[in-house]
A = this chain, B = another copy of it.
Amino acid sequence: MSRDPDECRRSDCPLSIALEILGDRWTLLILRDLFFKQFSTFKQFQESGEGIATNILSDRLRLLQGHEIISRSQSPEDARIAIYRPTGKGLALLPAIIELILWTATYHKTAAPPELVRAMRTDRKAFIRKVESRFTDKPR
C-alpha cells in the first residue's frame, strides 16, 4: 500500500467516507459472497451470478484489500490461487449489510429465503456471531 487510503477524501462525513469505499453496485456483493456463500477465490466471485466484469472485480478486491476489509493469501493447495477472507473490519460491515437486506425484504419482492430473513430480524446478534465464527474459528 503506497498511499494512505484516507487521502484525498471529498469530505470528512463518515457516510461520505463509507460510500467512497463501498458506494457502487458491486463491492458489497463481493462481501455478501465472502460472508454468506463463503466464497474465497476470484473465480468464485466472478461466477457468482450478477455478472461482474473481470476488471471491476480485480479493482474492487484491490480496493477492499487496500482498506483492510479483506485479506489476501496464497491457497495452501495451489500457490497460484489467491484466497480472500474478511478481516475484523470487514466483518464489522455485517450489520449494515443486514439492514440493507432487511430493508429490501420489507419493500421489494426478493428471492431471500424467509428463514434467513427471519433469523436476521429476530436474533441479529446470534446471526452475526454465526457468520463471524466461520472466519474466526481456527479449525477449518
A contact set with B: CB distance below 8 Å:
6, 10-20, 22-26, 28-29, 32, 49-51, 89, 92-93, 95-97, 99-112, 117
A100 to B32 alpha-carbon distance, docked (Å):
15
| CB pair B100 A15 closer than 8 Å | yes
| CB pair A49 B101 closer than 8 Å | no
A51 to B15 alpha-carbon distance, docked (Å):
15
A105 to B15 alpha-carbon distance, docked (Å):
9
A69 to B32 alpha-carbon distance, docked (Å):
24
A117 to B106 alpha-carbon distance, docked (Å):
26
A17 contact set on B, CB distance < 8 A:
104, 108, 110
A15 contact set on B, CB distance < 8 A:
28-29, 32, 97, 100-101, 104
Q: Which of B6, B24, B29, B104 contacts A24 (CB 8 A)?
A: B24
A103 to B10 alpha-carbon distance, docked (Å):
18
A51 to B96 alpha-carbon distance, docked (Å):
25
A33 to B131 alpha-carbon distance, docked (Å):
33
Q: Which of B16, B25, B93, B103 contacts A23 (CB 8 A)?
A: B25
